[in-house]
Structure 1
Amino acid sequence: HLGYEQYGVRERFNDFSRAFWDIMDEAARRPVDFVVIAGDLFNKRAIDAQTLIHAIEGLKKLKEQGIPVIAIEGNHDRSYYRDGISWLQFLCHQGYLTLLAPVMRDGAPVLGQWQSDTMRGSHVDLLGGRLRVYGLPWQGAATNHSMEGLAEALASVHAEEESAGVEYRLLMMHTGIEGIVPRVQGLPSMAQFQPLQTYVDYLALGHVHKPYEFDGWIYNPGSTETCGAEESAWEDRGYYFVEIDTDEPEKVIDPNKAARCHRATHLVSKRRPFVRHEMRVDGLSEPDALYARLEDYCRREGYKHQESALRPLVQIQLIGTLNFDAGSLDLSRMEEMVKSYFRPLYTRVDNNTNDQDYIPEGGEIDGRDRSAWHVLELRIFEELVSRDNRYLPAREQWSTVLADLKRMALEKDDPASIAQYLRDKRAELLVT
């Protein structure tokens, strides 16, 4: 997701680039035989020059060492128009990576060796033809149909691959598995991946930012930087270092896992700390009680980040049922409190609370008798103002004030007169 200026903070743009560079540096340091990127190298289709420079900065380190990079397009990378050129295609044309893009026929990929002149093809062969890397870019709503066609195509060439000396097959797909993240809908089920297992040794997935792996052949490393606050709960996001040995697999495989001839080591990417805290407000009867609870949290947790090399991002979410008027909350005051304890790069306090449902006490007045509406209205106003401790001592008087304000507004009284009436009543009724 290079180029993502999260929350409008420019330093976040640099954070995503640094996470990418760190991985490229690690690949060059080891060094690896090749690198695969399963989509969404960029955060959006229309990138600026600085984003492109940062991408080249990372990729050229591998190019200089002769380490091939194989990639596919994700939903964020694709060009705006069917006949348009994406920035990944530009990088491919410049020799920084190989972009796999099979020809699609009737919604299914046609298997064919990647060709540099057309920049089209479903796969490339590496390590003297012993290892084949397939790629299926983002298919959107057509993913399920494309997977069915891919499984059939792989089955049809399997014998040919065996005779050609292909010993290991890696497939990249920019999609996820249904149910991994509940809010992400429209993904294939695990059952729909099963037909691929016979013909694929390693399935490298993208799209879903939560890390997961299954059955020794499906791997999704998760996002390298935190694209959304909910990702902060998935601390082990990053990338994989994979060792493959088809001659003596016992040298690399983990006996406790189902992998057949590889060991996939999940590595956590270097990234800026992201603190997300859900603070319940149930039972708090006034804003000061809420501020005190927040300060208690900040006092306990803030010091952990005071000396951090990278200043954290902090998001506070207020949840639960609010027992007083949400308009009396001073979110700016709360954000300043967070800043004083955490020294964050960015902070935000979100009010995601629910208003308390109104349930009238007693059942003798239900509103069907129009003559009793005024009494019912006063009772409702009284119960509502009682939920805020500031108005509780004079709740009966405040209910009358609210009724008067409503009447004055309906009669189109002068707004200045209405405001003055409210100021006078506040001075009279509020206990200081």
Structure 2
Amino acid sequence: MNYRLLHAADVHLGHRQYNVKKRQGDMFLTFRKTLQESVNKHEVDAILIPGDLFHSRDLRPSILESAEKAFEVVPDDIPVLVSPGNHDQNLNRRAMTWLEYLHQRDVITLLQPDFEGVSSGERPVEELFPSLASAEENEGTGVDGTVSGYVDLDVPAFDAPVRVFGLEYRGGYIDTALDQARTAIEAVNNRAGEPAHTVLMAHFGVVDEVPDLGASVRYTTLQQLEGLVDYLALGHIHKPYEGPADDPWFFNPGSLEAHDTQEARWNLGYYVTDVERDSIEPHHHTSKRRPFYSYDWDVDGYESWANLAEAFDEAVADERPDVVDFCSAEQYATSDGTARAPVIDFRIQGHLEFDRRDLDVDALESKLADAADPIHVQTKVSVTTAEILDLVEGLDEDAVFTDTGTLRTEVLEGEVFTTVAEQTPYAEEPGATAEVLARAKELVIEEGASGESVADYLQRRRQEVFADGVGAVEPEFDDVADRADAGGVDAETFAAVQAGENVDPIEAARRATTSDTDGDPDHEGEDVKADTPMTAERGED
């Protein structure tokens, strides 16, 4: 007899994608459908959600209500185990999170470690995961001490329990957190006895399997858990993956709903995992979700807007049957088998032969909406004009255009980013800086990475490219004058620059800061400190 788990992640309840109300509803409907299938069809014994149950830490009451409503389909005897993702956490760790609220109402069982004092050495790392007994005595973690770090799931057919640990999102500290988790899991197993199987829920990515979006580790770091952890239930990256290829033990199901066009191409879903006495067998299932349909329109060859609009009308009418057929696929269709209205990814490309101002994008979107009846049309315009051709005249034509003549916008972006980098303190490495800026833009727009994930990436790349720090920039006269007008430097510094003398920017900043607070009763008795990046014993979004 086996024990069956549902492993789903990155639910993002409350995500109002494109500010479309139906997309917010999709997050709820897809999640509830997943729970229903898991309970009624797959007959799972427990549910694991390693992070990002919610899309935002600031919830409207209706979103919290939808979470409770979704969990109503789960019988009371099926535990719902949740660990915090970056979207679930509060900036202030002393404030109650919505996960803790659901935990207190017995809707979920929240699992998270207690890092307070561990990294500083005030508490031993062996105490990282509070026991359920400690939580029952209000000596666990969370604002009221009622949250444990692990739970034992009793399986009658096994001689020992299935032990599930929860590791919260740790951002750039994930490598250290995994090392601490290994020591703490070993300590728990020594105290409480060896389990039949050990499961760890966590919220980070494995860069050997997917692009580095921040809060990710390499497999060489992860290997310390192999053999100790039998099933690593991951969340955070919306693309499904598992590894290592020869004998996988870490699994990431992907998000349940697509959060951008690229994600819509992935096999999103969840795992139904059979835990047997001597083995663990995960099976990935596709989730029921909203279809994304891509439609490309080439503007080449049309001498006027009228000619283009007439041809577009005919083309979208011909496209209608293909849209219906695509949206009728099993993973998209409604419960009665009819096609579900899609989100349309509309790309306008090619070389425009008439005035760009005559290209009525709104009219094209309206025509497409009338023909395909989508809930939203997301449009990207990537056309060349005579003006753009003048701009790229000095660049290699093969590098700027594809084989079909489509403009490679990333080449132009690279030129712009390089130019920007050359005018900043990072001018020593303009090429590398431009690559970092381009990747950050890609993370946000194309991959939907969170702000904290992008910040992690930027911080890491800055440390790699500028290992010795960024060189001081000597202020020019106009720059210092502008700052002086705004109270940014003191009179002594301004006079020195005006006289052509060399100025130490650090000393100038110190004098300016001191002069700003001298005689100010609001700052009397305070120490003036330079701005430095904040570091804390916690994760990030």
- TM-score normalised by structure 1 residue count: 0.72
Q: C-alpha deviations, 1:140-175, integer Å up to 9, x for none?
A: 1211221122223334555556xx240101111111
Structure 1 residue identity aligned to 2:379: V
Question: Hey, what's the Cα distance between the residues in 2 that align with 1:72 and 1:360?
Answer: 50
Match of 1:58 among 65, 70, 74: 70
1:354 Cα deviation after fit: 5.3
Give yes or no for contact 1:101–1:119 (8 Å, CA) kept in 2.
no
Deviation string 1:216-258 (CA, Å, 9 cap, x unpaired) is 2111111111222221111x20111111111xx4xxxxxxxxx
Residue 37 (str. 1) matches residue 49 (str. 2): yes
Q: Calculate the aligned-residue CA RMSD, in Å.
A: 2.8
SS of the counterpart of 1:172?
A: strand
The equivalent residue for 1:136 is 167
Of structures 1 and 2, the one with the larger relative CO (CA 8 A, separation 6+) is 2
Percent of aligned positions with the same letter in both sequences? 29
Q: 1:151 to 1:296 in 2, by over 3 A?
A: farther
Cα deviation 1:314-372 (Å, max 9, x = unaligned): 1212346656543332111210221122111111322134553327999xxxxxxxxxx
Indicate yes or no: 2:379 matched with 1:349.
yes
Counterpart of 1:150 in structure 2 is: 181
Aligned to 1:166: 195
Where in structure 2 are the equivalents of 1:212-223 lying within 5 Å? 212-215=241-244, 216-223=248-255
Please list, as runs of the form range in 1=range in 2, the aligned pairs for 1:46-85 lying within 5 A after superposition: 46-62=58-74, 64-85=75-96
Shift of 1:312: 0.8
Counterparts of 2:50 and 2:105, CA distance in 1: 19
The residue matched to 1:352 in structure 2 has which SS?
A: strand
Q: 1:120 aligns with which of 122, 147, 151?
A: 147
One-letter code of the match for 2:346?
I
Contact 1:312 1:346 in 2 (8 A): yes
Instruction: Report deviation, 1:182.
Output: 3.5
What TM-score does the superposition give when structure 2 sets the normalisation length? 0.58
* Matching of residue 209 in structure 1 with residue 238 in structure 2: yes
Once residues 361 and 53 of structure 1 are traced to their aligned partners in structure 2, the CA distance between those partners, rounded to angstroms, is: 57
Q: Paired residue for 1:391?
A: none
Runs (5+) with no aligned partner, structure 2: 1-11, 139-144, 329-337, 395-541
Query: Which amino acid is 1:339 matched to?
Result: A
Letter of the 2:264 partner, please give it: S
Going from structure 1 to structure 2, the CA distance change for 1:122 and 1:301 (only over 3 Å counts) comes to farther
Whichever residue aligns with residue 219 of structure 2, its letter is: M
Amino acid at match of 2:287: S
Secondary structure of the corresponding residue to residue 226 of structure 1:
coil
Residue in 2 that maps onto 1:27: 38
Matched, 1:271 2:289: yes
Alignment gaps of 5+ in structure 1: 250-260, 363-432
SS of the residue 2:273 aligns to: strand
CA distance, structure 1, for counterparts of residue 284 and residue 221 of structure 2 = 25
Q: Match for residue 119 of structure 2? A: 106
- Contact kept? 2:175, 2:221, Cα under 8 Å: yes
Letter matched to residue 61 of structure 1? V
Change in 2 beyond 3 A, CA 1:303/1:82: same
| Deviation at residue 34 of structure 1 after TM alignment | 0.5
| Deviation at residue 185 of structure 1 after TM alignment | 3.6
Report the alpha carbon displacement of residue 287 of structure 1 after superposing the two structures with TM.
5.0
Q: Distance in 2 between matches of 1:58 and 1:203?
A: 25
Q: What residue identity is the alignment partner of 1:106?
A: S
C-alpha spacing 1:309/1:112, structure 2 compared with 1 (3 Å): same
CA distance in 1, matches of 2:30, 2:392: 56
